[in-house]
Structure 1
Amino acid sequence: MEVLNRQRCFEGEQLRVQHRSQSLDCDMTFSLYLPPAARGGVVPLLYWLSGLTCTDENFVQKAGAQRYAAEHGVAIVAPDTSPRGEGVADDPEGAWDFGLGAGFYVNATESPWDRHYRMYDYIVDELPALLAEEFPVDVERASIFGHSMGGHGALVIALRNPAKFQSVSAFAPIVAPSQCPWGEKALGQYLGPDRENWKNYDSCALIEAGALQLPMLVDQGDADDFLEEQLRTGLLEQACADTGYEATIRYQSGYDHSYFFISSFVGSHIAFHARALEHSLAED
């Protein structure tokens, strides 16, 4: 493991770290914000999963989240969105919605993707173990959030691992990748043609199958160009209504899909997670 960069930020530290990933079989980079409270002991952890074309740096440079993380005393880790490096397969046509920068947080089962594209295992198992060993973060007190493809990843990972996360939130998530062009392209190539296998990475399908309740918050801009075709937030509303799954789903007037949207509401998301993490500590 190598710390590539270290900057002071709101009395804490913003780090960029590179390490060799066993699950992805390549070098990976993640960004980690440690609040000032981390100097006095371990702090709760938020995972941020970014969207298509992003790296680990987009969120930490654009969202303005460090201010709120410092106030609430939580760390935020932002991993990259896919494996990278020599030998890692990419979309043969160089498309931006598949391959490099578009790992969709799944464990690929189809060749050639299955060699490197195991982002689900990386987020759920490998990254937490590394963070717990190397940094003053409490991976047992963790929550997860993300944007677009990363919102999909956050919802799916939390719904499949409710014992690992105290809460989940998302900005403009792809709520049903088995029912939109982005998702059909990615899941079809990463997982193969059997759509039953896709349900393991579809938040609506997981809720309909009886996923355990977690505190859930979703923000969606009503001026988002991707809302109707790709994000399909209404399907999540319907799945929650049909099953009695409690979720706060908010449509924000005039907001689009950009980091201007994320930065406008990231403070409320971090406060939402901080409350859930504090509640878990009180229960302990």
Structure 2
Amino acid sequence: MEMLQKNRCFDGEQRIYQCDSQALNGMSKFGVFLPPAALKGEKCSALFYLAGLTCTEETFAIKAHAQRLAAQLDLILVTPDTSPRGEDVAKGDSWDLGLGAGFYINATQAPWAAHYQMERYVVDELYSIIQAEFPVIQDQIGIFGHSMGGHGALTLALKYPEKFKSVSAFAPICAPSQCPWGEKAFSNYLGNDRNVWTQHDATALVEQKGALFSEILIDQGMDDQFYSQLNPDLFEQACNKVGQKLSLRQHAGYDHGYYFIQSFVDDHLQFHAVQLERV
């Protein structure tokens, strides 16, 4: 692991690291914000943030304006890239497939399977690095994300509740098996068996696994230009069916971008701080 950059930020540090990833079969970058308490060696809770299509490990750090409150709440923020990168990595022919569009799953189909193992990278490899290299309270790790990353946050939390104690999302792709983004990604990465797709679909997973969290928080803009791809109503129906408490907050006038995220990111940090017993 190599630190490529660090910047002072609200008396903490925003850092960018690079590691040689076995899961992704190549070099991968990730961001870490360390609050002042962590710089002093004090143990802190950690939040993994999974970004959306076309984003990188820096997008959230630059655009979300989350560090101020994270510094106050003693939260370490971890921001992986959204896909493998490199000369040998399959590129795809559009912005919603391939680079910047890993969908946080383990691809099984050629040519994607050689590098696109994002689920394993986040849940096993990067998770272990964060626990080993930073002052993290081992049982106080949460996950949240946006759009494709909201899909990733919901599905990884539902599949690995022993690793993630809290979960929230901004405008997540709630039922990727039933929207063009998900159908395109899943058919390429996983093949055409829709039964396999449901293993990576938050709406299907919550129906299978039942209520796992004391609460899930989702914020959704009602002027979201991609609303037809997101299907929050289907996820809400599934949560109601199994008794999973969901706070689905719908906001008039807000779209899909980072101005929307900036507006509500403090609420998400506070939500996780409560769930992770920081306040």
Length-normalised TM-score, structure 1:
0.95
CA displacement at 1:122 relative to structure 2: 0.6
- Counterpart for residue 180 of structure 2: 181
CA displacement at 1:131 relative to structure 2: 1.4
Give me the whole-angstrom Cα distance separating, in 2, the residues matched to 1:273 and 1:48.
12
Which moves more between the two structures, 148-157 or 245-254?
Answer: 245-254
CA displacement at 1:69 relative to structure 2: 0.4
Matches within 5 A, 1:1-284: 1-38=1-38, 39-91=40-92, 93=93, 95-214=94-213, 215-227=215-227, 229-278=228-277
| Paired residues of 2:211 and 2:242 also in contact (CA < 8 A) | no
Per-residue Cα deviation, 1:256-277 (whole angstroms, up to 9, x for no partner): 0010000000000000000011
CA displacement at 1:186 relative to structure 2: 0.1
**One-letter code of the match for 2:91?**
D
Give me the whole-angstrom Cα distance separating, in 2, the residues matched to 1:47 and 1:184.
25
Which moves more between the two structures, 139-148 or 99-108?
Answer: 139-148
Give me the whole-angstrom Cα distance separating, in 2, the residues matched to 1:40 and 1:87.
39
Indicate the SS of the match to 1:28.
strand
Per-residue Cα deviation, 1:30-81 (whole angstroms, up to 9, x for no partner): 0100001111422110000000000011100010000010010010000000
Give me the whole-angstrom Cα distance separating, in 1, the residues matched to 2:80 and 2:138.
15
Per-residue Cα deviation, 1:177-223 (whole angstroms, up to 9, x for no partner): 00000000001110000000001110000011133421210000000
Give me the whole-angstrom Cα distance separating, in 1, the residues matched to 2:111 and 2:138.
32
Indicate the SS of the match to 1:213.
coil
Q: Structure 1 unaligned runs (5+)? A: none
Per-residue Cα deviation, 1:7-32 (whole angstroms, up to 9, x for no partner): 11001010000010011101000010
CA displacement at 1:253 relative to structure 2: 1.3
| Paired residues of 1:213 and 1:246 also in contact (CA < 8 A) | no
Q: Structure 2 unaligned runs (5+)? A: none
Give me the whole-angstrom Cα distance separating, in 1, the residues matched to 2:91 and 2:197.
21
CA displacement at 1:109 relative to structure 2: 0.5
Root mean square deviation, CA, Å: 1.1
| Identity of matched residues, % | 54
Name the count of aligned residue pairs. 277
**One-letter code of the match for 1:76?**
L
Indicate the SS of the match to 1:262.
helix
Give me the whole-angstrom Cα distance separating, in 2, the residues matched to 1:246 and 1:129.
29
| Paired residues of 2:16 and 2:31 also in contact (CA < 8 A) | yes
Give me the whole-angstrom Cα distance separating, in 1, the residues matched to 2:112 and 2:270.
37
Give me the whole-angstrom Cα distance separating, in 2, the residues matched to 1:51 and 1:277.
24
Give me the whole-angstrom Cα distance separating, in 2, the residues matched to 1:139 and 1:51.
26
User: 4+ residue stretches of structure 1 with deviation over 4 A?
Assistant: none
| Paired residues of 1:160 and 1:211 also in contact (CA < 8 A) | no
Indicate the SS of the match to 2:19.
strand
Length-normalised TM-score, structure 2:
0.97
Give me the whole-angstrom Cα distance separating, in 2, the residues matched to 1:184 and 1:209.
20
Indicate the SS of the match to 1:30.
strand
Give me the whole-angstrom Cα distance separating, in 1, the residues matched to 2:62 and 2:222.
25
Give me the whole-angstrom Cα distance separating, in 2, the residues matched to 1:48 and 1:268.
14
Give me the whole-angstrom Cα distance separating, in 1, the residues matched to 2:46 and 2:258.
22
Give me the whole-angstrom Cα distance separating, in 1, the residues matched to 2:120 and 2:132.
17
| Paired residues of 2:211 and 2:239 also in contact (CA < 8 A) | no
**One-letter code of the match for 2:186?**
L
**One-letter code of the match for 2:3?**
V
**One-letter code of the match for 1:37?**
A
Give me the whole-angstrom Cα distance separating, in 1, the residues matched to 2:158 and 2:210.
6
Which moves more between the two structures, 266-275 or 33-42?
Answer: 33-42
